[in-house]
């Protein structure tokens, strides 16, 4: 397998390292022209995403979009969502990535730019939406529904039967109680403990978690 990694930040560098550790060749990095300031990145070509077809045929090129929960006005993770939609429209393949040390139930799909790092545990009957990112050590319990475009940070724990709304960001070591529903586009701060349902577009911090006045859509990056 040979892939191109979209991104030139920390998550892209980490993804490249993990892919290669699992025996997957990374051919190049790519970013949009506005973010391309050099010809190479970490020893690999850094290509213009807007002109990627000039080097790689879309129908035969695998692309992993390794972008964090950045917001371009559409809420947390909206940058990655836009890039995925653009790549699909242009015909690129998005196989996703499942680390060798991740534990997922049999049959759990990891395509459609799902990115699952080492140490992740996904229990049976959980549902992972397209374009979700699960960082190292995240735990997704049984019957959880992670809607598309979510980002679950390192060490976060989501209890059985919880539902995480589209595009939400679950912070470092945050905990969501069994059966709780997190509204779309929410941000849960590091270490937050969420014991009750949340409204969409909210920022929740603390133990137990409380909502801040500022809406999540105004945060450029959690």
What's the pLDDT tens digit per position in 149-174? Answer: 999 999 999 999 999 999 999 999 99
Report pLDDT for 60: 82
Q: Is the residue at 47 inside a domain?
A: yes
Q: Is the residue at 62 inside a domain?
A: yes
Quick check: 1 pLDDT over 80? no
Report pLDDT for 14: 96
Q: Is the residue at 104 inside a domain?
A: no
Give backbone dihedrals phi and psi of 176, rounded to 5 degrees, phi first.
-115, 125
**Under a CB-based contact definition with an 8 Å cutoff, are residues 159 and 180 in contact?**
yes
The pTM score is 0.96
Burial of 43 (0-12, 13-18, 19+ CB in 10 A): exposed
Q: pLDDT for 30-60, tens place per residue?
A: 999 999 999 999 999 999 999 999 999 888 8
The residue whose two tokens read 């020893």 is 43
Kindly state the tokens that stand for 146.
Answer: 């992670």
CATH number of the domain to which 51 belongs:
3.40.50.20
What is the total count of domains within the chain? 1
Q: Is the residue at 210 inside a domain?
A: no
The boundaries of the domain holding residue 38 are 2-89
Q: Is the residue at 168 inside a domain?
A: no
Q: Is the residue at 152 inside a domain?
A: no
Q: Is the residue at 21 inside a domain?
A: yes
Quick check: 15 pLDDT over 80? yes
Q: Is the residue at 71 inside a domain?
A: yes
**Under a CB-based contact definition with an 8 Å cutoff, are residues 98 and 104 in contact?**
yes
């Amino acid at each position: 397998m040979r892939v191109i990694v979209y991104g030139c930040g920390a998550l892209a560098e980490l993804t490249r390292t993990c892919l290669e550790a699992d025996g997957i060749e990374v051919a190049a990095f790519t970013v949009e022209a506005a973010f391309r300031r050099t010809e190479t990145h970490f020893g690999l070509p850094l290509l213009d995403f807007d002109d990627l077809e000039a080097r790689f045929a879309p129908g035969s090129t695998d692309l992993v979009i390794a972008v964090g929960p950045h917001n371009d006005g559409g809420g947390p993770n909206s940058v990655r969502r836009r890039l995925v939609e653009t790549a699909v429209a242009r015909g690129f393949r998005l196989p996703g990535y499942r680390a060798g040390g991740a534990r997922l139930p049999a049959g759990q799909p990891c395509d459609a730019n799902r990115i699952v790092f080492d140490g992740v545990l996904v229990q049976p009957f959980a549902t992972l939406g397209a374009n979700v990112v699960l960082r190292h050590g995240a735990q997704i319990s049984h019957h959880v529904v992670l809607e598309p475009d979510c980002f679950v940070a390192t060490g976060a724990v989501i209890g059985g039967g919880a539902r995480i709304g589209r595009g939400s960001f679950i912070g470092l070591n945050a905990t969501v109680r069994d059966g709780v529903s997190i509204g779309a586009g929410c941000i849960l701060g590091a270490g937050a403990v969420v014991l009750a349902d949340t409204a969409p577009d909210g920022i929740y911090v603390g133990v137990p978690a409380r909502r801040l006045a500022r809406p999540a859509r105004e945060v450029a990056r959690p």
